[in-house]
Amino acid sequence: MSDDDHHFESKADAGASKTYPQQAGTIRKNGYIVIKGRPCKVVEVSTSKTGKHGHAKCHFVGIDIFIGKKLEDIVPSSHNCDVPHVNRTDYQLIDISEDGFVSLLTESGDTKDDLRLPTDENLLKQIKDGFGEGKDLVVSVMSAMGEEQICALKDIGPK
């Protein structure tokens, strides 16, 4: 059998894990961490001194990057924590459907139709108003741990 018989679709994450391990003591403010199974942006880190029997502990306060909920965790500083792979991608907005889904144009010229409008009222209003006025809008989509959400908006001028 020749090598030409095998054809694989490349999706760029060949079975890659949604997270990677990182030592708790090296995670800093504005980094990312998984707390209670949710990807969070770290807003506060404090480290306690070593106790009589053990490890220095890191106290993390993070905000869920998708739902905005505040979460906390305490981990020994020598232990590993899960850190999510967080990606931001820009797409051009083509259409907004009646049921709250958006149609986006990818870099390769394909359409992406599986994303909902954001739940953040302010961002939602900006997107709907800009789209209603016929402006060319570019939305930033943040993805981590199998979830995706529109997180920012750029106006690139009139159509």
Ranges for all domains in the chain classified under CATH 2.40.50.140: 86-156
Topology given in CATH for the domain delimited by 19-84 = SH3 type barrels. (2.30.30)
User: Could you give the C-alpha distances from 138 to 62, 115, 123, 153, in angstroms and in order?
Assistant: 28, 14, 13, 6
> 86 pLDDT exceeds 50?
yes
| CATH architecture under which domain 86-156 falls | Beta Barrel (2.40)
What's the angle, vertex CA 23, arms to CA 17 and CA 24, rounded to 5? Answer: 110
pLDDT at 98: 84
Where in the chain are all domains bearing CATH 2.30.30.30? 19-84
C-alpha 149/C-alpha 44 separation (Å) is 24
What digits encode the pLDDT tens for the residues 114-124?
A: 888 887 888 88
Q: What percent of the chain has pLDDT over 90?
A: 36
Q: Is the pTM of this model over 0.85?
A: no
**Residue written as token pair 């359409």:** 111
Position 10 scores a pLDDT of 43
- Tokens encoding 67: 């739902």
Token duo for residue 43: 């807003």
| Per-residue pLDDT reduced to its tens digit, 5-59 | 555 444 454 445 788 999 998 999 999 999 999 999 999 999 988 877 777 899 9
125 band by pLDDT with thresholds 50, 70 and 90 = confident
> From edge to edge, which strands make up the β-sheet containing 38-47?
32-35, 38-47, 57-64, 70-76
